[in-house]
Amino acid sequence: MSSADIASGAGPLFVLAVGLLGVLLGVLTELLIARSLPRLGGLPSIRSRITTAVLTAALCAALALRIGMDWSLPAFLVLGVLAVQLARIDLAHHLLPNALVLALLIGGLALFAMSSSFSAAWSSLLRAVAGAVILFFIYLVLALISPSGIGMGDVKLAAPVGLFLGYLGWSHLFYGGALGFVLGGIASVVLISLKRAGKSSEVAFGPAMLAATLGVVLSAA
């Protein structure tokens, strides 16, 4: 995906419309999560719901501005919507529900396949699949070596993260994967220093992985 493709067609009305769509998708996703995953305690507080709605809208608008009217945009909007919900749940419950991680992986793969069929970007699709496999196995090895540092939820999340980063390019996969560890390490140090976490295993690592992924997507060239 070239920089010309990424920047094409992102007019202000288009960006605004996608941002409003993000609010709707975020609210509907939150309601669906509360209904299908009752063990999470139902809907979060109104303050949390407003925060996630605003954040989802901002992310979707930023993705529309960065990617434009490209066939890959729907896949990245799914990333934006589910990343907010996964981060919220991981921060609150130290849990990355399998259903949401699988939805992100399958949804992204299906939408990238559709995008590739329209734009003939089959190499990007193959690279995305390879990225998902590579990052998953890297996290799996690290989890087996140091189970107290990386949980199996993080290992599973590595697959969709690798999918989206791999679609952009090999360098994006490398920098996105590395940035996730950097952000996770910083968060661990800050929280432990503030005595909000007793050890690194108590720090949610999923939000760092998702933040790194979105950061690389939004800065992709």
Lowest-pLDDT range of 17-21, 82-86, 92-96, 130-134: 92-96
Q: What angle separates helix 98-119 from helix 152-168, to the nearest 10 degrees?
A: 10
pLDDT at 221: 59
Instruction: State the average pLDDT over residues 45-61.
Output: 95
C-alpha 32/C-alpha 59 separation (Å) is: 20
pLDDT at 30 over 90: yes
3-class secondary-structure state, position 102: helix
C-alpha 67/C-alpha 214 separation (Å) is: 12
Tens digits of residue pLDDT in 189-219: 777 777 655 544 567 889 999 999 999 999 9
pLDDT at 41: 83
C-alpha 189/C-alpha 213 separation (Å) is: 21
pLDDT at 202: 63
pLDDT at 33 over 90: yes
% pLDDT > 90, the chain: 72
**Is the CB of residue 25 less than 8 Å from the CB of residue 77?**
yes
pLDDT at 1 over 50: no
**Is the CB of residue 26 less than 8 Å from the CB of residue 52?**
yes
**Is the CB of residue 115 less than 8 Å from the CB of residue 59?**
no
pLDDT at 40: 87
C-alpha 100/C-alpha 199 separation (Å) is: 26
Q: Provide the pLDDT confidence category of residue 3 given band limits of 50, 70 and 90.
A: very low
**Is the CB of residue 165 less than 8 Å from the CB of residue 149?**
no
Domain boundaries along the sequence of the chain: 3-218
Please tell me the pTM assigned to this model: 0.89
pLDDT at 195: 62
pLDDT at 208: 94
% pLDDT > 70, the chain: 90
Q: Provide the pLDDT confidence category of residue 6 given band limits of 50, 70 and 90.
A: very low
pLDDT at 190: 78
pLDDT at 7: 47
Tens digits of residue pLDDT in 150-184: 889 999 999 999 999 999 999 999 999 999 989 98
pLDDT at 17 over 50: yes
pLDDT at 80 over 80: yes
Instruction: State the average pLDDT over residues 40-68.
Output: 93
Residues 6+ apart with CB under 8 A from 184: 203, 205, 208, 209
